C-alpha cells in the first residue's frame, strides 16, 4: 500500500473536486469550487503540491495539463478514519462511537442501524 500523507483543508477541497470529476483542467476545478473563487495561480499551486505529494497525475496537451487522482477517495477515507481512530480514540471503535453518541452526532435510530450492520458483519 502506498504511503498516504495528510492533506490540508484546501488540498482536500481540490481533491474532492478531482474525485468527483475524475479528470480536469485547472479552470474546471475552479468552476466547481465554492465562492469566492480562488485565483487561478492559487489553485494551480495547490495542484502542483498535490502532484508532488503523489495524489494526482496529469496528461499534457501542449502547454495545458489535465489532472486526475492517483489516490482514490476510498483510500484517503481509510487513511483519515485510521488517523482519527488511532489519534483520538486509542484505536477503540467503542470510544469513538460513544463520543459521537454523546455529542449527539448520532441519534438513536442511526445507532441502532450501526449496531445492526455490526451484527451482520459478525455473522459473515
Domain boundaries along the sequence of the chain: 9-69, 73-122
Which ranges of the chain have pLDDT less than 50?
Answer: 1
C-alpha cell at 50: 498535490
pLDDT the model gives residue 33: 94
E-state strands within 29-92: 56-61, 64-69
pLDDT the model gives residue 104: 73
Say which CATH topology domain 9-69 has: Arc Repressor Mutant, subunit A (1.10.10)
pLDDT the model gives residue 18: 97
Q: What single-letter DSSP state applies at residue 72?
A: -
Measure the CA–CA gap between 40 and 47, rounded to whole angstroms.
11
With cell 465562492, the residue in question is 35
Q: Which three-class secondary structure state does DSSP give residue 70? A: coil
C-alpha cell at 28: 474546471
pLDDT the model gives residue 39: 95
Amino acid at each position: 500500500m502506498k504511503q498516504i500523507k495528510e492533506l490540508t483543508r484546501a488540498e482536500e477541497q481540490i481533491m474532492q473536486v478531482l474525485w468527483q470529476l475524475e479528470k480536469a483542467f485547472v479552470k474546471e476545478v475552479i468552476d466547481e469550487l465554492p465562492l469566492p473563487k480562488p485565483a487561478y495561480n492559487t489553485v494551480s499551486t495547490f495542484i502542483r503540491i498535490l502532484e508532488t505529494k503523489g495524489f494526482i497525475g496529469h496528461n499534457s496537451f501542449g502547454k495545458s495539463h489535465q489532472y486526475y487522482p492517483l489516490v482514490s477517495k476510498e483510500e484517503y477515507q481509510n487513511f483519515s478514519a485510521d488517523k482519527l481512530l488511532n489519534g483520538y480514540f486509542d484505536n477503540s471503535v467503542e470510544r469513538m462511537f460513544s463520543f459521537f453518541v454523546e455529542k449527539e452526532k448520532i441519534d438513536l435510530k442511526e445507532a441502532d442501524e450501526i449496531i445492526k450492520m455490526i451484527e451482520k458483519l459478525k455473522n459473515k
